[in-house]
Amino acid sequence: MTYDIAVIGGGIVGAATLYKLQKKYPTKKIILIEKMNLLADHQTGHNSGVIHSGLYYKPGSLKARNCIQGRHELVAFAKEHGIKHDICGKVVVATDPAELPHMEKIFQIGLENQIEGIKMISAEEVKEHEPFVESIGGIWVPCTGIIDFRGATEKMVELALAMNSESKLVLGQEVLEIKKGEKTSTIITNNDEFKAEYLVFCAGLQADRLAKKDGVKLKEKVVGFRGDYYELTEEAKHKIKNLIYPVPNPDFPFLGVHFTRMTDGEIECGPNAVFTFKREGYGKTDFSWRDTWDALTYGGTWKLFFKNMSFGINEYRRAFSKRLFLKTLQRMVPSLTMEDIKPGRAGVRALLLAQDGDTRDDFRIEYHGKSIHVLNAPSPAATASLAIGGYIADEAEKHFGF
C-alpha cells in the first residue's frame, strides 16, 4: 500500500501529529513508524510528567503560544479520555535575594502570556502550599499539573487508528534511508519498506540525522543532555505535596532541579543536566562512539561548553555525588537528609544546537519538498503536543495542497 502520509517518530509529538492529521483528513491513509517496540519510549516516557503553564517562554514565541494552547487541549483530552492527570499547581520559590529580580521578570512574562491565576506570594504563603519549603517568597502557578504522558501518547494513536481502518502503526522499525521518487518516497527500515506521498518527521533525538537522510541541508546538530533523578523514600514523601521549582538561572539553558509529584504517587527530585555520550543512553556510563564523535567534532558543542563551563562542571559533580545533589535540594527543603532520597531514573533531552553554541530555544519546524520536519521540540513540547500537531495539520493544507 502507498500511504498518503508517513509520520516518523512515535513520541507524543508524532502521536499528536498523527491524531490531528487523521482528524482533519479522515480519508487519508496515514502510517506512524516508530523504531522502538513501544510508543513514547525516549523523551516522552522519561520526562518529569509536568503539564507546563507557559510561565517561562518569550511572549509571542512558538513555545509560548503552543504551550498555552496545548495545555488547554491536553487537559481537555485527558478529561475526555480518562488519562491520569491532576491540575495541582506549583510554586516557584526564591531562596536568595539575588534571585528576586529574575523571579519578578518571570512573573511579568507570565502576566504577558496570560497565565491564569498566577500571583506573587510571601514566604508564609509558600508554606501554606508546601510546609517544608524555606524561601523568601515565590510565585503560585495554579494551572500547572501532572499527567501520564505515555498514556496520553497511546490514546492519541489508538483514536487516530480508529478513524481510518487503512491507517497503520508499525513498531520496531528504524528508518535507515529515504528514497525520493517523482510522486512518492520509499522509507526503508531495518526490516521493511513503506511508500508514502508526504512525510512528517517528529524524530526528537534523531531529528537532525533523519533530516539529512531526507536531503535537508542542516548546519546545526542535535546534542543530547542526560538528566538524572532521585526519588523520595516512602518516609520522606510527606515533605512534598505537589510541584516545587527554583527560580531558574537565566544564564543556564535548563530550569534547574525541582520536586515533582508523579501520577503514580512517587516524588521525583531532579533532573540535573549533563552532556551525554550516547543520545539514547540513560545510564551514567552509557557510551556511543558515533554520538560522541558527532557531538565533540561539532564546534557548537564546544562553544556551549565554554559558555557554561562552571555550570557544566557543577552538574557533572552532582551527577556522581548524592551528597552534592542533596545539597541542591536542601536549598528549598533544608530538612531533607541522605536517607530521604534514593537514585531514580534518567531522561535524555535533545537540543538543536547552533554553530555558535546557542541552544535554539524556540520550537523549530521546517519544510523540504513534500516533507515537514520538527527539528527542535524540547520542553514544553509534551505539553504543547496537541497544539504542535494541529499546527502541522494546518501547515499540511498549505504545503501539501490537501
Listing DSSP states for 219-283 in one string gives --EEEEEEEEEEEE-GGGGGG--SEEEEPPPTTSSS---EEEE-TTS-EEEE---EE-SSTT--S
Long-range pairs of 277-282 with CB within 8 A, sequence gap ≥ 24: 278/224, 279/205, 279/206, 279/222, 279/224, 279/348, 279/350, 280/42, 280/205, 280/224, 280/348, 281/224, 281/226, 281/348, 282/46, 282/226, 282/345, 282/346, 282/347, 282/348
pLDDT at 208 (0 to 100)? 97
Report the alpha-carbon distance of residue 69 to residue 53 in Å, rounded.
Answer: 10
Q: Which CATH architecture has domain 221-359?
A: 2-Layer Sandwich (3.30)
pLDDT at 250 (0 to 100)? 77
For domain 2-45+150-219+361-399, give the CATH superfamily. FAD/NAD(P)-binding domain (3.50.50.60)
| Cis amide leading into 101 (omega within 30) | no
Report the alpha-carbon distance of residue 44 to residue 365 in Å, rounded.
Answer: 18
Give the residue from 355, 374, 362, 363 showing the smallest Cα distance to 216: 374
Residue ranges matching CATH 3.50.50.60 in the chain: 2-45+150-219+361-399
Q: What is the DSSP-derived secondary structure letter of residue 40?
A: T
> Within 13 A of 186's CA, how many CA atoms are on the CB side?
6
Residue ranges matching CATH 3.30.9 in the chain: 221-359
pLDDT at 389 (0 to 100)? 98
Q: One digit per residue, pLDDT tens: the chain, 402 residues? A: 999 999 999 999 999 999 999 999 999 999 999 999 999 999 999 999 999 999 999 999 999 999 999 999 999 999 999 999 999 999 999 999 999 999 999 999 999 999 999 999 999 999 999 999 999 999 999 999 999 999 999 999 999 999 999 999 999 999 999 999 999 999 999 999 999 999 999 999 999 999 999 999 999 999 999 999 999 999 999 999 999 999 998 777 677 899 999 999 999 999 999 999 999 999 999 999 999 999 999 999 999 999 888 888 888 888 899 999 999 999 999 999 999 999 999 999 999 999 999 886 789 999 999 999 999 999 999 999 999 999 999 999 999 988
Report the alpha-carbon distance of residue 49 to residue 233 in Å, rounded.
Answer: 19
Model-level pTM? Answer: 0.96
What the block records as the C-alpha cell of 104 is 519578578
CA angle 178, 363, 288 (to 5 degrees): 55
Dihedral, CA atoms, 125, 232, 333, 244, nearest 10 degrees? -40
pLDDT at 360 (0 to 100)? 67
